[in-house]
Structure 1
Amino acid sequence: MASPELEHVKAVWHRSRGNSPIYDFLLSNIEIVSASKGTLTSRLVLGPNHVNSRGTIHGAVSAALVDWSGGLAIATHGLEKTGVSIDIHVTYIGTAQIHDIIEIEATANKVGKSMAFTTIRIYKVVDGKPGPLVATASHTKYVQQAKS
């Protein structure tokens, strides 16, 4: 049985599909694997639209994954609207190639009344498990929660 957070996050993603051409282009085949309060894990098979001229994951794809997964990690706190990006910092450590599977682990470290801070790790999947790091990132978002 799926966790309430997983069901919520999948519903948020389902409702937002079609609202962002870049996400539709890059993330049409992304799979949300798991979610609990503050964490989200997803997987993506890299295709031709994810790689650069050398056939390896494009830096802009990694940055888009950070933006997307950080927002959904925030959504695990029950939010429908996950704010706007203030800062994204990506450190590119390794790479992955077309047809590789990558795993994205996003953690909402703090979700306050107006700010949220997330950490993301992107791994190349090897033998079905997270292997070498592709990128690490921090993502800060402005979130406007209703006042209690």
Structure 2
Amino acid sequence: MSSALPASNPDILAHVEQFWEGRKPRSPIYQFLLGDVSFIHASKGLVRARLLLTNNHVNAHGGIHGSVSATIVDWVGGMAVAAWDNRVKTGVSTDIHISYQSTAKDGEWVEIEGKANKVGRSLAFTTATIWKVVDDKPGPVIATGSHTKFLSV
């Protein structure tokens, strides 16, 4: 289950939403898979969002595709870095690790959390969690990930 969140900061939330709206049209894969994602929380280095899964998100067995989870971990790591200090350059991926634990299906909601654990001059280290939403709250963990970003680009 999720831990208590710090209060959402309206200025950081506005920055992350604006950053996302500017980035989304320049990334066809993000636009295709995450075009309908909605932010529900932002504070320093922490973002939460929700996404309704569609047929575009699932594999042949009907569960969220592993590549979709990987894309989400990649995306939310950048969003967490943007939330760290309202930056507009979030770097490039150097490493992504994902552990798959459960699933969600077409028509189900997922909640996504990205946390920037450390943001330095050249590297940022983030973690991500994807939950299935149950009774409008984060339920079973679908996947967790860690993501390292090279910032000096």
Scaled to the shorter chain, the TM-score interval is: over 0.9
Q: Which residue of 1 aligns with 2:77?
A: 70
Q: Which residue of 1 aligns with 2:11?
A: 4
User: Normalising by the residue count of structure 1, what TM-score does the alignment of the two structures yield?
Assistant: 0.95
1:87-128: per-residue Cα shift (whole Å, max 9, x none)?
Answer: 000000000011110000110000000000001010000000
Which structure carries more helix by proportion? 2
User: What are structure 2's unaligned runs of at least 5 residues?
Assistant: 1-7
Q: Which residue of 2 aligns with 1:113?
A: 121
- Which runs of at least 4 in structure 1 moved beyond 2 Å after TM superposition? none
Query: Cα offset for 1:4?
Result: 1.1
SS of residue paired to 1:17: helix
User: What are structure 1's unaligned runs of at least 5 residues?
Assistant: none
Partners in 1 of 2:59 and 2:120 — Cα distance? 37
Partners in 1 of 2:101 and 2:31 — Cα distance? 26
SS of residue paired to 2:73: helix
User: Normalising by the residue count of structure 2, what TM-score does the alignment of the two structures yield?
Assistant: 0.92
CA RMSD of aligned residues (A): 1.2
Number of residue pairs matched by the alignment: 145
Q: Which residue of 2 aligns with 1:133?
A: 141
In percent, how many aligned pairs have the same letter? Answer: 52
Partners in 1 of 2:127 and 2:114 — Cα distance? 6
